Every structure is written in structure tokens, then in C-alpha cells.
Amino acid sequence: MIVTVTANTTIDYTVFVPQFEMNRTMRAVNQVYSMGGKPTDASWILGENGITSLALGFAAGNTGERVKAMLHARGVQTDFIEVGGETRINVVIISENDGGHATITTSTLDINERHINELRGKLLAALPEASCVVIGGTLPKMMQPAFYPEFIALARARNVPVIFDADEPNLSAGLEARPTYIKPNRDELSRLTGQPVNTIDDAYRAGRALYERYGTCPIITLGDDGGLAVLPDRAYRIPPLPVEVVSPAGAGDAVLAGLALALERGQPIEDGLRFGFAAATAVCLMPGTADCRRADVERFLPLVELLPYPG
């Protein structure tokens, strides 16, 4: 079973405006609610594609109930811990004319030490049957980055592969526990290394250095420049597929889903990369964060190329 762990569960509210401008009222041309936290996004994408997973984490209030209902509708099993406050709603703004997008995040869950202990217990109970753990995202206020190395180490100590996706300061904290894969985007990789990531070669050098230091394989996503998978003895450039992008939010989380699928099925990671980047492209076609259609994923699957890098 694929296990996903989301501390900061989220619903994303995506609003499309013709052109985003400060100091004026804008009329939305479209709006949609969808999933938001990275690991729950991966569960949701897997569910759309007929693959069950177990989603763990913290949830609260009406929005928390909504997260569960959306996951159940796609066959995801959930076992969230009820905490204080309310699962947050983040606002994603898509500015259609210039193709820009921005996200406003909030922090509305109240977590205490007892909740974290309960989550530790649920993860430990799930690990014997787990094919992998997908963990990451921001943390609710009151939670420290040290949550990540501790929870990643619980899985790694039991030989369960971990797919970890977070931004600083959580990314460098979690890396200390040597997750199996990380999935930084361009900005996250740049903040982690303190170096600009302009070219594919910048990404390759940064990714290879991370592998040498932590034994973790970075699967780097570069938006409309595609992806770069740095594996122990090989690397692949994954060109983007030419599509009319509606919203790229959550596309990176489809790559987490792909890696998890390969681990669940005992397939070569190459198969997971193909599925992940096909699903990422399918997410780009939908207005909602991490939403995709199975038919699109299947259509894109044979088109994804893994080109050995450096060539």
C-alpha cells in the first residue's frame, strides 16, 4: 500500500482572472475547488488513475471533512487525526493574459504534541504493509522542520522508501534522514543549494551533488522546461509535452504519484517517471490544483521521453 502523510491538509480555491492587477476589483471568469497539500494531491491523482492509497495526516473542521470526501470519492482510504482549528483553504490566482499564477497560503490548523504522537503511531502501524511513503508540504504553525527527519527516519529504518517534497527550511531538514527521492522544482532547488538554477546543467550539477551527499535521488521539475531525474548511476532529461496549459498547480505532485506507483508495483523507476510526467502534463490541462483525467494520462503516457543526460 502507498502511504501518504500530509501535516498541512489543504483545499485549493483557484480563481481565474483575465489579468491580475493591484488596486482594482477583478471579475473572475472561472473558479474551482480542488485538493491542495502535496501528499494528498498524490493520493488524489493516484485515485483518479485507479490506484488506492492510504492518506494520513491532520485535518479539522468542515474543510477537513471536504478533503476526506474528495479523497473517498476517488477510492483513497483516509485515517486523519482530528486536530484544532480548520483545514486551510489556499487561494491560487491564474492571470490568463500573461499566463502568470500566484498562490496565497494560510495557516489555520492547531497542532499539539499529542497530535504528533498520534500521527507517529498511525505511521508506525501502516509501515509494515507500506510499499513507500509520500511525505511533504508546508507545516502548520507550532510544528518544527525537525518533524520531517524524524518521520522520514521512521520509514527508512524499516526499509520503506520515502518520497519527500518540501521547500526550505523543511527540505534541508528532511534530507538529513536520507529520503529515497526528493522532488524539488527550480526555485526549491535554488533555495536549497543557495545557487541559481538557470540551465538544465545547473540542475544536473546540483542534483548530482545532492545525491553524492545524501544518497537521495533528486527528481527535479523545471516547469515548461520539463524535468531532470538524477538516479544513482544515470540521469534523464524529460522534455515537456507541448500542451495548452490551463493551470500547472499540482503538476509536480503528479510526479510524486508516479514514483510511488513504480515502488508499489515493483517496477523500474523509469516506469514511474513516465507515469509521473504524463500525469503532470494531464494536471496542466485542468483548472483545479492536482486535478487530472485518467484518459489524458493514458494519452500522454506513450509520449513521455526519457533522454539519457548528459547525452
- C-alpha angle 180-310-186 in degrees, rounded to nearest 5: 55
- Judged by CB, which is closer to Mg ion: 57, or 252? 252
Grid coordinates belonging to 176 = 538529513
DSSP string, 66-107: HHHHHHHTTT-EEEEEE-EE--EEEEEEEETTTTEEEEE---
- Judged by CB, which is closer to ligand ATP: 85, or 137? 137
User: DSSP 3-state helix, strand, coil percentages of the chain (rounded to 5)?
Assistant: 40, 25, 35
Grid coordinates belonging to 77 = 482510504
Contacts for 194 with CB less than 8 Å, ≥ 6 apart: none
281 binding ligand ATP? (CB under 6 A): yes
- Judged by CB, which is closer to ligand ATP: 151, or 277? 277
Judged by CB under 5 A, the residue of 252, 258, 272, 276 near Mg ion is 252
Which of ligand ATP, Mg ion, none interacts with 272 (beta carbon under 5 to 8 A by kind)?
none
- Judged by CB, which is closer to Mg ion: 207, or 252? 252
- Judged by CB, which is closer to Mg ion: 109, or 290? 290
Cα separation values, 26 from 2, 18, 99, 209, Å: 42, 8, 16, 45
Binding mask 210-249 for ligand ATP (x = CB under 6 A): -----------xxxx-xx------------x--x-x--xx
49 binding ligand ATP? (CB under 6 A): no
Q: Of the ranges 71-79, 121-129, 194-202, 279-287, which one interacts with ligand ATP (CB under 6 A)? A: 279-287
Which of Mg ion, ligand ATP, none interacts with 87 (beta carbon under 5 to 8 A by kind)?
none
Contacts for 77 with CB less than 8 Å, ≥ 6 apart: 52, 53, 54, 55
Cis, bond preceding 310 (omega within 30 deg of 0): yes
How far is residue 178's CA from residue 161's CA, in Å, rounded to a whole number?
10
Beta carbon of residue 114, minimum distance to ligand ATP (angstroms, whole number): 30
Q: How many residues bind ligand ATP (CB under 6 A)?
A: 20
- Judged by CB, which is closer to ligand ATP: 109, or 256? 256
Give contact residues for ligand ATP (rule: CB under 6 A).
185, 221-224, 226-227, 240, 243, 245, 248-253, 277, 280-281, 284
Give contact residues for Mg ion (rule: CB under 5 A).
252
